[in-house]
């Protein structure tokens, strides 16, 4: 079943955020996804960021820079987003394994060029940014205050199929 995408955004204005920052290895001893919930982004090195803050608690979309999710292959990184209702990540680029893990879980890892990420980041100044995702049209619309900006994105047929199927297990099981 397809997940819900879009919603309130939180901005992590840094490149190369790694999976150890998203979910530290010491929590990988948990054997359920739900148990990861309180530890989201606990070790993120970013000035002014509070992993226990209201903004993260209310967010369902993460907007960030380059090479997001680099490092470990741990799917616990997408999972900790999933159990915190963050089903959409928007970045300039991703580490390969993290990106694949997102789609394998039926979640969205949207790539936008740097200029678009810059505009999205700048939109924060208007207030809380809300993002609507239209997967069929391959478009997102970001709203804050009175401003509204549409962005187009590319997504491969395979990634779309994974999102529609609800993940890679469902897709592969039906086909192989």
Rounded-to-10 torsion of CA 22, 27, 33, 37: -60
Q: Which stretch binds other proteins (CB under 8 A): 15-23, 80-88, 108-116, 124-132?
A: 15-23
Report the nearest approach of other proteins to the CB of residue 20 (Å): 4
**From start to end of the chain, where are the E strands?**
7-12, 61-64, 88-91, 108-111, 130-134, 139-144, 147-152
Strand partners, 55: none
Question: Least distance in Å: CB of 132 to other proteins?
Answer: 26
Tell me, residue by residue from 60 to 99, as one string, x for binding to other proteins by CB under 8 A and - for no binding: ------xx--xxxxxx--x--------------xxxxx--
Interface with other proteins, residue 6, by CB under 8 A:
no
Nearer residue to other proteins within complex by CB, 103 or 131: 103
Instruction: Residue 20: name the closest of 51, 43, 46 by CA.
Output: 43
20 binds other proteins (CB under 8 A): yes
x/- map, 94-133, other proteins, by CB under 8 A: xxxx--xx--xx----------------------------
Candidates 2-10, 24-32, 51-59, 135-143: pick the segment binding other proteins (CB under 8 A): 24-32
Side by side, which strands form the sheet with 61-64? 108-111, 88-91, 61-64, 7-12, 130-134, 139-144, 147-152
* Residue 136 backbone phi and psi in degrees, to 5: -60, -45
The pair phi, psi for residue 78, each rounded to 5°, is: -60, -35
Binding site for other proteins (CB under 8 A): 16, 18, 20-21, 24-26, 28-33, 43, 45, 66-67, 70-75, 78, 93-97, 100-101, 104-105, 156-158, 161, 167-169, 172-173, 175-176
């Amino acid at each position: 079943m397809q997940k819900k995408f879009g919603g309130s955004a939180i901005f992590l204005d840094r490149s190369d955020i790694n999976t150890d920052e998203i979910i530290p290895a010491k929590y990988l001893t948990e054997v359920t996804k739900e148990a990861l919930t309180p530890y989201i982004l606990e070790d993120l090195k970013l000035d002014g960021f509070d992993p226990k803050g209201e903004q993260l608690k209310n967010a369902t979309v993460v907007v960030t820079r380059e090479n997001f999710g680099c490092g470990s292959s741990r799917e616990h990184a997408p999972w900790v987003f999933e159990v915190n209702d963050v089903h959409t990540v928007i970045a300039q680029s991703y580490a390969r394994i993290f990106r694949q893990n997102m789609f394998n879980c039926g979640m969205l890892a949207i790539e936008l060029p740097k200029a678009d990420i810059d505009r999205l980041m700048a939109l924060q100044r208007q207030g809380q940014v809300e993002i609507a995702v239209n997967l069929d049209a391959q478009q997102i619309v970001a709203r804050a205050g009175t401003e509204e900006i549409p962005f187009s994105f590319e997504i491969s047929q395979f990634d779309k199929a994974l999102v529609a199927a609800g993940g890679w297990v469902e897709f592969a099981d039906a086909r192989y």
